[in-house]
Amino acid sequence: MAVNTMEKKLAEYKCDTNEAICLKLVRFPEDVDDDGTTFHPEYSHQIFGDDEVAFGYKGLQIQLFYTAGNLSTLFKVKYSSRVTDTFDCVEPDEVEGKIREIVPAGFTCNTDDFISLLEKEANFKPFGTLLHTYTVHSEDAGELTYQIHKADITCPGFQEYHERLQTFLMWFIETASYIDADDDRWDFFFVFEKYNKDGETLYATVGYMTVYNYYVYPDKTRPRVSQMLILPPFQGEGHGAQLLEAVHRFYCNLPKVQDITAEDPSENYVKLRDYVLVKLCQGLPSFAADKLHLGFSAVMIKEAQDKLKINKKHARRVYEILRLRATDMSDEEKAREYRLEVKKRLFGPYRKNQRELTKMRKCLRPEELVSHMGQMDTQTQHEELEKSYQVVVEDYRRIIERIATQA
């Protein structure tokens, strides 16, 4: 009974680290105490384990506040009580040490010192070369102006800034890892918001993308998107699409670029990429509405590759989306043609399974072959194919709707 009572008391000292970690991008001194400017991680397992729990504290709050532009950092750990104050034999987790492992040196632990750093924000200017400027309408603030810049490691002060920025990856990308920014094959693209403070123009960090340039024999490169993050206060405003489109247009102008890919893309990234590539391709002659019903062609592949650095696989998805937009799905015959066209691509993995099964017949014992054949039941294949088709078309429709709203 005493053990259960002790367990209950100790349970009070467990904290959800996704709630305990308080992130903030600070523009004005009053933002520091404004809970409305606080946001929290989606993930903290890379620092605090799969349970995303810190033990040993009541009312734990881990403050990681950043100045909006330069990302100068305030780091503080606060709590109402600690387990060692009550239970001598139990040690709390080393919360502060875990955070120090990922936050680069140079942060302050003093709130007044941090607020004084806001006065230097006017000196912060975006790194690198301006690629694109765009505006977004806000009901609260009217027209807001954003800039996309390309930078590299040669920019003064960039290395330190990037080290502070990439700390956000740990909280918002599930399998994030830091990169070796010293490698000159990395390109960095940033989104900044321009805003006014006391009559001066300042810049706030919105998000960024890292791209690694791989060598392709004999004289080409293949830029591969490694990381992309729009910070939570700016999500849902279209900045990801603006950034990805600007990056594509930048590489399209480089003759030595073969095509642009992504490393282990998330589902959300694939949807964003589909949207951006459809926007870019819909103006190409080979993707005109009157050509789509003729099927996916070598001309489409070549034009997408030559003009927009889009590879065959991605061009195929663009074709399917544009063909869906151009198809009257209430016409049974046209809908059937479209369905078969998409399923023909989706059936690829099943065809591969059949080829593997043919090879297996030559080397597996009968009981082993039966086991593998059971996994590839034809009826199951058809059902899975139909499910895949419905999911794909649903995603395609969302992209078509989004493009229609932007027209």
Residues with a known catalytic role: 263
Q: Are 14 and 97 in contact (CB under 8 A)?
A: no
What is the pLDDT at residue 274? 97
Classify domain 125-264 by CATH number: 3.40.630.30
Residue type, 86: T
pLDDT at residue number 11: 82
- The pLDDT value recorded for residue 373 is 46
In DSSP terms, 61 is beta-bridged to: 78
Alpha carbon distance 266, 259 (integer Å): 19
Task: Write the CATH number of the domain with boundaries 1-121.
Answer: 3.90.360.10
At 194, give phi and psi (nearest 5°): -90, 135
* pLDDT for res 175: 86
H or E stretch at 394: helix 378-406
For residue 199, how many other CB atoms are within 10 A of its CB? 5
Quick one: which of 68, 6, 1 has its CA closest to 32? 68
Domain segments of the chain as ranges: 1-121, 125-264, 276-406
Query: Six-digit token pair at 149?
Result: 């810049």
Amino acid code (one letter) for 137:
H
Give the position of tokens 């059949």.
Answer: 354
- Residue 378's Cβ-count burial label (10 Å; 0-12, 13-18, 19+) is exposed
The whole-number pLDDT of residue 366 equals 53
Which tokens hold the place of 114? Answer: 């941090």
Please tell me the distance from the alpha carbon of residue 322 to that of residue 341, in angstroms, as a whole number.
13
Residues 6+ apart with CB under 8 A from 298: none
At 337, which helix (H) or strand (E)? helix 332-346
- Compute the distance between CA of residue 338 and CA of residue 118 in angstroms, rounded to an integer: 57
Contact at 8 Å (CB) between 186 and 212?
Answer: yes
Q: Which residue has the tokens 């509405």?
A: 289
- Tens-digit pLDDT profile for residues 169-184: 999 999 888 998 888 9
How is residue 335 written in tokens?
């809908």
The neighbouring-strand residues paired with 108 are: 74
Q: pLDDT tens across 65-108, in order?
A: 999 999 999 999 999 998 876 676 778 999 999 999 999 999 99
**pLDDT beneath 50, residues of the chain:** 1-2, 367, 369-370, 373-374
- The CATH code that applies to domain 276-406 is 1.10.10.390
**In whole angstroms, what is the distance from residue 281 CA to residue 181 CA?**
33
CA distance 317 to 364: 37
Alpha carbons 153 and 160: distance in angstroms, whole number: 10
Distances (CA, A) of 120 to 109, 130, 151, 191, 200: 18, 22, 22, 20, 12
Find the angle CA(229)-CA(239)-CA(106) to the nearest 5 degrees: 45
Grouping H, G, I as helix, E, B as strand and the rest as coil, residue 118 is: helix
Q: What is the pLDDT of residue 1?
A: 42
pLDDT digits (tens, 9 = 90+) for 354-399: 555 555 555 655 545 445 544 556 777 788 889 999 999 999 999 9
